[in-house]
Structure 1
């Protein structure tokens, strides 16, 4: 039973978390404003194509987030079977996984949604004219950069979790 649980846990991590990390990492590139002016986000120009690609990447992140719940569920089940639920490396992994999940649910997905809304609403420079913002191009560029940074932290957290799962400090297996 332990081998089955571990196999499902690892497969779920690869098949669910992998696509989220890739799609989330690619997303900011497709919402950054282009230097060329006159491209409509809804049109067939580079901005329109980027908007469609960004929307697809956001759907991938949202969809795989639902499937990603299986990763910690099977991880806890595997840890219980192995009797390692109180080990420091597993507790650290659980904390890092919770932090990554919080970043995904509270920062990455909402940030993607906000940027998509700006991108598909046709983002003009009316904010600058009314004095309500620093300019939509600059605001979108800044928001995309922040999202890229948060996504990088999310990916780093998962990398550390993977290392902890493989190395398992204090393990007697010699791994």
Structure 2
């Protein structure tokens, strides 16, 4: 069952988090051009895949539990960073995108928050691959 949970976790990360990071990254540049139709599409991608992205930590917890590694430091750091990334997306990026859609305007901080969101996911990905201090061997 662990392999199933891990497979779904990784597939969900690729399918859900990838599109959000790309669409969120494109949004500020498109906002500067004022292309409302494209902005609407990018915002929809971010909103839909943010919901689908809930599968990533859900199956991550299931995998970690099945492997008996919920107390590992690298995993706890990854969980905290994932929660921060989710908060940045849900509490800052998506509402700011909605504001830009309601009144098209340039928002310099949106690009900064999107960059922070992306860096958090890069760090989590590296932690998942490297697993510093991990007891599972690789």
User: Normalising to structure 1: TM-score of the pair?
Assistant: 0.76
Structure 2 unaligned segments of length 5 or more: list them: none
- Cα separation, 2, equivalents of 1:171 and 1:26: 36
Q: Offset of 1:171 from its aligned partner?
A: 2.3
Q: Offset of 1:72 from its aligned partner?
A: 0.3
Q: Please state if 1:17 is matched with 2:2.
A: no
Q: Please state if 1:147 is matched with 2:87.
A: no
5 Å-filtered alignment, 1:1-175, equals 1-32=1-32, 34=33, 47=34, 50-119=35-104, 140-141=105-106, 143=107, 145-173=108-136, 175=138
- Cα separation, 2, equivalents of 1:68 and 1:85: 20
- Cα separation, 2, equivalents of 1:98 and 1:30: 27
The total of aligned residue pairs comes to 138
- Cα separation, 1, equivalents of 2:135 and 2:17: 28
Q: Secondary structure at the match of 1:169?
A: coil
- Cα separation, 2, equivalents of 1:83 and 1:173: 10
User: Normalising to structure 2: TM-score of the pair?
Assistant: 0.96
- The structure richer in helix per residue is 2
Q: Offset of 1:170 from its aligned partner?
A: 1.1
Structure 1 unaligned segments of length 5 or more: list them: 35-46, 120-139
- Cα separation, 2, equivalents of 1:171 and 1:94: 15
RMSD: 1.1
- Cα separation, 1, equivalents of 2:25 and 2:137: 34
Post-superposition Cα deviations, 1:61-112, rounded to whole Å, max 9, x if no partner, equal 0000110000000000000001000000000000000000000000000000
Q: Offset of 1:172 from its aligned partner?
A: 4.4
Query: Which of 1 and 2 has greater Rg?
Result: 1
